């Protein structure tokens, strides 16, 4: 039987599909938002917004990651999630308020460092964002830990729809960059309100569960996540500090926003994988856990043709979304999108290391990568500008993917299936060639991307990548047949 056709595998894929489809609202609404903002703010204004959002993202991601995987692991293993959940929410509240105060205090020094006076106001507004987003993330981690993937998907969908509406309204009212930030803040509040419809852990009260396990695991995972988040934004920040103009930052930021889809898939997939694998290991089923890990590596390997499709169509995608002014971002996007897929393997390795009780392995991968990227940026940015930052990023992402596979092999003795690897290489070449040879613009670009996407799937089918069980499973998803709900999933 295919590992992804087991009951746990079906639940994992069903949850991933739901959250990923909800998460697709981020790039879909994000593309509309970005197209609107780039035309309203111009390259300079959009560059400032991207820079402020990147710095805020470092704070937000670090706080959330300190608790995220630890919460999913401990909630997933607990017989009664409520005491653990209450502790998590209170810790998130404390960390969010503390992080917001720190970001507010650093807003002026950071604006001075980047020689952008307006940056101070934008970071001060983002400081109010941190407590709300931290609480929202805490609730979502609990939902993942107890297996309620559908409810997390609903909360994500609410956030991205609210973000689009609020940003468009506030910026159109003349609030410019502050309006975009306030719209994002309001969307986080909507997401928090939706999650509290499903679970209501008390916000106030004493912390009844020992926090030492969270701290021990959270320090390692939080530091690793902070380094990986720093890795994601280091090219943009060093581009500015090494003499790049705010216009170049805007171009690089636009390309990053379009290359977000692989990272979005990883965000949807890896927390669910951690929840499922932790539960299997707690139940004494290590072989099933390894099977799911192998299936995860296979899925990621199979995504490369879609990255090749995006790379081949990058000039048309950039021009259609952002307009002619952002056309120089196309080669940057072509570089970044393929590396982003490879980098998801690092998150899978972190999940396996965490579930196996050796989270320090994530530090062994993330710390050298940040140092390597800093050196690469320092060498390539002065010579090649934004393209140099993209080249350094992708090179280090490839190194990170290879290192992640090494970590997984050491822990579980599994590697990506050879058959999937060669099929992915062949089909990637096909997808890239079709994307380059088929010119399209406007709405026809969507037709082109959809058709080549279908060709990719048919090519995998023709090369016998999918088993009979997996084909039947896809048919069941398409027919919206409900999966059985286990007792553990119920509140």
38-58 residue pLDDT tens: 778 877 788 888 889 888 987
pLDDT tier for residue 216 given thresholds of 50, 70 and 90: low
Report the C-alpha gap between 71 and 199 in whole angstroms.
15
Where do the H-state alpha helices sit in 259-359? 261-282, 286-301, 304-312, 314-322, 330-355
Report the pLDDT value the prediction gives residue 182, as an integer from 0 to 100.
94
Report the pLDDT value the prediction gives residue 104, as an integer from 0 to 100.
93
Report the C-alpha gap between 244 and 267 in whole angstroms.
30
Report the pLDDT value the prediction gives residue 103, as an integer from 0 to 100.
94
pLDDT of residue 33 exceeding 90:
no
The tens digit of pLDDT for each residue in 310-369 reads 999 999 998 888 888 888 899 999 999 988 888 888 888 887 887 777 877 778 888 899
258 close to 317: Cβ distance less than 8 angstroms? yes
Report the pLDDT value the prediction gives residue 441, as an integer from 0 to 100.
84
pLDDT of residue 472 exceeding 80:
no
Report the pLDDT value the prediction gives residue 359, as an integer from 0 to 100.
75
* Mean pLDDT confidence for 259-281: 72
Least Cα distance to 308 among 462, 433, 450 occurs for: 433
pLDDT > 70 fraction of the chain, expressed in percent and rounded: 84
pLDDT of residue 117 exceeding 70:
yes
Return the minimum-mean-pLDDT range out of 69-78, 103-112, 428-437. Answer: 69-78
The residue ranking higher by pLDDT, 15 or 137, is: 137
Sort 475 into a burial class: Cβ within 10 Å, 0-12 / 13-18 / 19+: exposed
The residue ranking higher by pLDDT, 167 or 71, is: 167
Please list, in sequence order, all residues whose beta carbon lies within 8 angstroms of the beta carbon of residue 363, skipping any fewer than 6 positions away: 220, 223, 224, 227
Report the C-alpha gap between 131 and 185 in whole angstroms.
10
Query: Buried (b) or exposed (e) across 198-232, using 16+ Cβ within 10 A?
Result: bbebeeeeeeebeeeebeebbebbbbbbbbbbbbb
Report the C-alpha gap between 177 and 184 in whole angstroms.
11
Report the pLDDT value the prediction gives residue 246, as an integer from 0 to 100.
81
Report the pLDDT value the prediction gives residue 1, as an integer from 0 to 100.
42
> For the chain, what is the mean pLDDT?
81
* Mean pLDDT confidence for 280-293: 82
269 close to 20: Cβ distance less than 8 angstroms? yes
Tell me if the pTM is above 0.75: no
Q: What is the helix (H) or strand (E) element at residue 172, kind and residue range?
A: none
Report the pLDDT value the prediction gives residue 39, as an integer from 0 to 100.
76
* Mean pLDDT confidence for 386-409: 91
pLDDT tier for residue 476 given thresholds of 50, 70 and 90: low
141 close to 85: Cβ distance less than 8 angstroms? no
Where do the H-state alpha helices sit in 149-260? 149-170, 176-198, 212-241, 246-258
* Mean pLDDT confidence for 140-157: 78
pLDDT of residue 22 exceeding 50:
no
The residue ranking higher by pLDDT, 80 or 385, is: 385
Report the pLDDT value the prediction gives residue 474, as an integer from 0 to 100.
67
Report the pLDDT value the prediction gives residue 23, as an integer from 0 to 100.
47
* Mean pLDDT confidence for 387-402: 92
Least Cα distance to 244 among 393, 116, 122 occurs for: 116
Residue with tokens 């499709």, as numbered in its chain? 309
* Mean pLDDT confidence for 171-184: 90
Quick one: how far is CA 126 from the chain centroid? 20
Report the C-alpha gap between 21 and 265 in whole angstroms.
9
The residue ranking higher by pLDDT, 140 or 43, is: 140
For the record, the structure tokens of 325 come out as 């002014």
């Amino acid at each position: 039987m295919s590992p992804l056709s087991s009951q746990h595998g079906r639940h994992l894929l069903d949850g991933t599909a739901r959250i990923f489809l909800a998460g697709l609202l981020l790039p879909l609404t994000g593309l509309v938002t970005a197209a609107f903002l780039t035309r309203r703010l111009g390259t300079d204004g959009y560059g400032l917004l991207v820079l402020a959002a990147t710095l805020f993202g470092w704070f937000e991601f670090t706080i959330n990651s300190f608790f995220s995987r630890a919460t999913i692991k401990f909630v997933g293993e607990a017989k009664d999630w409520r005491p653990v959940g209450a502790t998590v929410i209170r810790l998130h509240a404390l960390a969010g308020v503390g992080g917001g105060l720190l970001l507010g205090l650093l807003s002026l020094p950071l604006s001075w460092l980047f020689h952008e006076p307006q940056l101070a106001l934008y970071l001060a507004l983002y400081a109010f964002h941190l407590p709300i987003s931290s609480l929202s993330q805490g609730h979502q981690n609990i939902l993942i830990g107890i297996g309620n993937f559908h409810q997390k998907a609903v909360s994500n969908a609410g956030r991205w729809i609210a973000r689009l509406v609020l940003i468009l309204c506030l910026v159109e009212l003349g609030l410019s960059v502050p309006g975009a930030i306030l719209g994002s803040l309001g969307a986080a509040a909507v997401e928090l309100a939706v999650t509290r419809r499903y679970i209501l852990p008390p916000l106030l009260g004493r912390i009844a569960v020992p926090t030492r396990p969270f701290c021990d695991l959270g320090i390692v995972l939080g530091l690793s996540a902070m380094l990986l988040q720093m890795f994601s934004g280091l090219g943009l920040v060093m581009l500015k500090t090494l003499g790049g103009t705010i216009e170049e930052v805007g171009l690089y930021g636009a390309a990053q926003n379009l290359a977000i889809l692989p990272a979005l898939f990883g965000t949807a997939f890896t927390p669910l994988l951690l929840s499922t694998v932790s539960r299997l290991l707690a139940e004494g089923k290590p072989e099933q856990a390894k099977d799911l890990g192998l299936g995860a590596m296979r899925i990621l390997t199979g995504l490369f043709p879609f990255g090749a499709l995006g790379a081949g169509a990058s000039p048309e995608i950039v021009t259609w979304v952002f307009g002619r002014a952002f056309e120089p971002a196309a080669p940057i996007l072509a570089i970044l999108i393929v590396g982003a897929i490879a980098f998801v393997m690092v998150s899978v390795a972190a999940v396996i290391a965490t579930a196996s009780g050796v989270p320090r392995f994530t530090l062994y991968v993330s710390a050298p990568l940040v140092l390597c990227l800093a050196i690469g940026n320092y060498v390539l940015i002065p010579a090649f500008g934004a393209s140099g930052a993209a080249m350094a990023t992708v090179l280090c992402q490839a190194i990170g993917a290879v290192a992640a596979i090494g970590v997984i092999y050491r822990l579980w003795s599994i590697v990506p299936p050879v058959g999937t690897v060669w099929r992915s290489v062949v089909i990637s070449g096909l997808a890239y060639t079709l994307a380059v040879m088929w010119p399209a613009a406007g709405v026809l670009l969507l037709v082109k991307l959809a058709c080549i996407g279908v060709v990719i799937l048919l090519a995998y089918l023709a090369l016998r990548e999918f088993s009979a069980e997996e084909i039947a499973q896809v048919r069941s998803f398409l027919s919206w047949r409900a999966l059985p709900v286990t007792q553990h999933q119920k509140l």
